[in-house]
Amino acid sequence: MRFGLYAVVVFASSWVLALPARANAQGAAPRPATAEPASRSAVTPPELTHFESAPYPPEALAARLDANVVLALDIDAAGHVTNATVSESAGHGFDEAAQSAALRFVFQPARRADQPVKSRILYRYSFHFQPPAPAAANAAPKRAGRVFGSVTVAGSKSPLAGARLRFSRAEVVLVERLTDAGGRFDSGELPAGTYRVSIEAAGFDVVGTTEQLTDGEDSELNYGLVPLSSSSGTITVQGTRPTREVTRHAVSRRELSMSPGTSGDALRGIENMPGVSRTPALSGLLVVRGNADQTTPVFVDGLWIPNVYHFGGLSSVVPTEMLDEVNFYPGNFSVRYGRALAGVVDAHLRETRADGRYHGLAQIDLIDARVMAEGPVPGLKGWNFIGGFRRSHIDAWLGPLLNQRDTYITAAPVYYDYQLIFDRRPTPDSYLRIGLLGFDDRFALINKNSATGGKLDTINATIGVGVIYKARLAPDVKLDATVSVARSHQRFALSSSDVDLVAQSVITRGEVAWRLWRGVTLRSGWDVLASPYRAYGAFPDTAGIDAPDIGMSVSLPSNQFNRHALFLNPALFAEMELRPTARWQLVNGVRADYTFEIGRLDVSPRMALRYTLVPGTPSTVLKAGSGLFQQAPDLVAMIVKNPSTQLRSQRSFQNSLGVEQELSAQVKLSVEGFYNLLDNLISAQPNARGVVDYNNYGKGRIIGTELMLRYAADEHFFGWVSYTLSRSERTWVPGQPSRLFELDQTHILTALGSYRLGRGWELGMRFRYVTGNLYTPCRSSLFSSTGTSYVCVQGPLDSERLPAFHQLDVRVDKRFVFASWTLGVYLDLINAYNRKNPDFLQSNYDFSHSQPQSASLPIIPSLGVRGEL
């Protein structure tokens, strides 16, 4: 049985200002605080260079006692402890244990005029009882490492002297350091493990982060603190976090929340990344690298969130304030992700702030209002919580607007979402989170003229509870696991078409990372989805061909399904990461998915390679990737398909090659080419009755290149230019020539920047230019007397384009800082020059005339107010 033992060391002397420095007595050898700004005294205090851990007294151990023993230590000119007397006794054997250990301490002796001298100090040796962690019981003794680096003003090279860093485990501060005049710090020797690091400096936001110290290895970390007067309390960690993917676009919360045109919504900021197609506002579509919609899933803490946007894009269902970071992988992602043909968006919720204080936030804008609270859980030591609630209030103004348009609102357009998270660190090497997430969208309307109008009824609701557990099982073995239970209800009814899905889902994902030896890490895990569901659907028969064009109210469609079934998709994956030298990184992996609904096992091998051609700054990194990505057919295809049709998973063979070039400490250029081959795509073809049937006849090819020129956020500015040039082709029927995919967009350009003007003002702009969408022209028309309507005589499919899209968004922020809280006001001017961007072509009754129509937002000033405690 092992136990945790912590000592808190306090130095005090008559001529030196004491700095509290805390150290782990369990085999650690912490140095006392040395990073204090240079003393003007002629005497330099002694500095502990060798620490001895005291054995826990058996009597105290049995009684589970904590204690502090204050010792008076006499240190000679050589730095050895010549005498240790008890100044404050604790009894129970603590005094003897502390004395015995202290006599073996070694110090850098005190100095006067650079000459070593004898000294006497007071030293507090603290004993903290901690129940042993089972996993740690069998672990080998941990070798020590160091954490060193610098603290600067975020985004700049300006050092921050006097910043206070606290390294803690299990809520106990083990080491505390102040940065020197150059902003540098050094933790000294620390045992391997997970540390909570908090950094404080006057005038800057307090930040907290978690760092992993691996056995025998030192870690260099550079922190950038954001001035209090700026915004949003974000942190930019500039230390290198190794990526397992060829390309990862990681954007800080500040960059996401301050991006113009997104109203501060982090997940909506994904549209600014390279490779992401422009989709109409409020469509909820996410189209990446010329792939279809619904092929780039969004994960939040590893869990897939379908329909991540309220009402197709007003805001995302997870508020920005709850997010730590959003990673976007446009392709060639790790085997830990599956069921995706294109890319992945992986958002992470942040840990609660374990600073013992309560925080609050309230915000309101034209769309919604939200509140959030955060702090320690009363009565539960070590537990913290963060909870939030948001509700839209667009029903207040949209209802009257629609009523003016001959429309009845039967269910006001309302969305709300809520989150409640409890977390703690049971041991220094583990983390536990219990979370409740939920959201609910509801909107229903009918036209006043029920004969020719339509009805629309949408529901998008989910509630779920999830548990996340991360732990170091052994010095070289880490576990990251999640399990969640959720219920979701999604409905979309438009006219006589109706789709209603209710699903209960149990999802568990996990990964074990095992560092086999230096430079070789094996990761393997599981990803299981089990979801009993009820799916109901109804579709008009022979819609569009010789059907009466009498509006959307004709009911009783002839095609219906009502299915109760279990969707079961277990997957296993394994990945080997090799770092033979500091310059090379090779990740090979394989993933196996079994989809019971189609009875198929899909095996997906993948590879990613990174080579640092030029280390240091500015660095040059070459990167390449290749792999197979598979996605099961969607539910409708599996349900509605002809029973005799055996559908297979859709496949994409992705290949990419690129380079990342640092141009300066702030500016980085990334260029990447990609070539994807697709097959087994689900192709929906009408059969003889005009009813759509599904098969795997579709094939495709996507070729393109992406460019990202990025200026990393500093105290004044952040911004980037992203550009994608691509061509996406498909063949839906065997033997037919390939043609452009309907979502193909040749040029996608986004230029974005935000500048802090001072005095709390910040101005941001975003400009986008995108090639117009494809459409199929009508060459002529025929009048169907049976349907009393015209039918289009189509020209070549997707052979013409709408005019290009371009739009400018402007955002102005003003932040007021008060003693204990801040107030932010922002104006997000969407579509500043009110461009009517065409999204589709609308034709007249006989298709003789047509004109582009816009589904994008007109000029909308979005004003928001936000208070933070």
Partner 1 sequence: MKSPKLLSLGWAAAVLLAWACVLSGCANNFTPQSKIDTLRVIAVRPEPASGAPGRTSALELVVADGASGSADGGAARSLQVVWLAGCHNPPTRQYFGCYPLLGQLAARLSPRAVDTPASSLPPSVFGTGTHYDLVVPGNILSAAPKQAGDTIHFGVSYAFFAVCAGELRPRLSFTDRLPIDCVDPQTGASLGREGFVTGFTTLYSYEGVTNSNPVLTGVHLGSTALDTSACRSDADCAGLVDVALAGFDERCGSQGTCTPVLPACTSGNCAKILITPDVDPASAEPLPGVGANEILWANYYATAGAFEEATELVNDRSTGFIADHGSYFRPPLNSDVPTTVWLTVNDERGGAAFQSFEVWTDAQK
Q: Which of residues 532-561 bind partner 1 (CB under 8 A)?
A: 533, 535, 537, 539, 545-546, 548-551, 553-556, 558-559
Sites for partner 1 among residues 821-860 (CB under 8 A): 839-840, 842, 844-846, 848-849, 851, 853-855, 857-858
Which residues make Cβ contacts (< 8 Å) with residue 71, sequence separation at least 6?
84, 85, 86, 87, 98, 99, 102, 122, 123, 124, 125
Omega before 20 cis (within 30°)? no
In DSSP terms, 459 is beta-bridged to: 442, 491
Q: Per CB under 8 A, which region of 97-105, 307-315, 379-387, 743-751 contacts partner 1?
A: 307-315
DSSP string, 463-509: EEEEEEEEEEEETTEEEEEEEEEEEEEEEEEETTEEEEEEEEEEEEE
Sites for partner 1 among residues 331-390 (CB under 8 A): none
Residue closer to partner 1, measured from CB, 125 or 299:
299
Residue closer to partner 1, measured from CB, 88 or 406:
406
Per rule CB under 8 A, is residue 599 in the interface with partner 1?
Answer: no
Cβ 432 to partner 1, closest distance in Å? 19
Cβ 278 to partner 1, closest distance in Å? 13
Q: Which residue reads 């978690």 in tokens?
A: 210
Binder among 603, 613, 782, 863 for partner 1 (CB under 8 A): 782
Q: Per CB under 8 A, which region of 448-456, 470-478, 576-584, 710-718 contacts partner 1?
A: 448-456
Q: Which amino acid, 241? A: R
Binder among 163, 305, 513, 748 for partner 1 (CB under 8 A): 305
Quick check: 751 and 769 in contact, CB under 8 A? no
Q: Which amino acid, 709? A: L
Cβ 324 to partner 1, closest distance in Å? 18
Per rule CB under 8 A, is residue 293 in the interface with partner 1?
Answer: yes
Spell out, one character per residue from 395 to 434, where the chain touches partner 1: x when CB under 8 A holds, - when not: ---x--xx--x-----------------------------
Number of residues this chain uses to bind partner 1 (CB under 8 A): 97
Quick check: 738 and 262 in contact, CB under 8 A? no
Sites for partner 1 among residues 627-666 (CB under 8 A): 634-637
Cβ 355 to partner 1, closest distance in Å? 29
Q: Report the chain's C-alpha Rg in angstroms.
A: 31
**Distance between the two ends of the chain, CA-based, in angstroms?**
44
DSSP string, 605-619: EEEEEEEEEE-SSS-
Binder among 239, 242, 400, 690 for partner 1 (CB under 8 A): 690
Binder among 38, 688, 737, 820 for partner 1 (CB under 8 A): 688
Residue closer to partner 1, measured from CB, 165 or 298:
298
Q: SS3 of 49, please?
A: strand
Give exposure, 790-811, as e/b (b: 16+ Cβ within 10 Å): bbbeeeeebeebbebbebbbbb
Spell out, one character per residue from 497 to 516, where the chain touches partner 1: x when CB under 8 A holds, - when not: x-x-x-x-x-x---------
Residue 245's closest CA among 316, 137, 340? Answer: 340
Binder among 689, 734, 834, 865 for partner 1 (CB under 8 A): 689
Measured in degrees and rounded to the nearest 5, phi and psi for residue 256 equal -75, -45
Q: Cα separation of 699 and 682, whole Å?
A: 9
Sites for partner 1 among residues 129-148 (CB under 8 A): none
Cβ 376 to partner 1, closest distance in Å? 26
Per rule CB under 8 A, is residue 449 in the interface with partner 1?
Answer: yes
Quick check: 629 and 340 in contact, CB under 8 A? yes
Spell out, one character per residue from 465 to 504, where the chain touches partner 1: x when CB under 8 A holds, - when not: -x-----------------x-x-x-x-x-x--x-x-x-x-
Q: Per CB under 8 A, which region of 119-127, 688-696, 713-721, 797-805 contacts partner 1?
A: 688-696
Per rule CB under 8 A, is residue 217 in the interface with partner 1?
Answer: no
Sites for partner 1 among residues 784-813 (CB under 8 A): 784-786, 788, 790-791, 793-794
Which residues make Cβ contacts (< 8 Å) with residue 451, sequence separation at least 6?
550, 551, 553
Torsion of CA 229, 230, 235, 237, to 10 degrees: -110
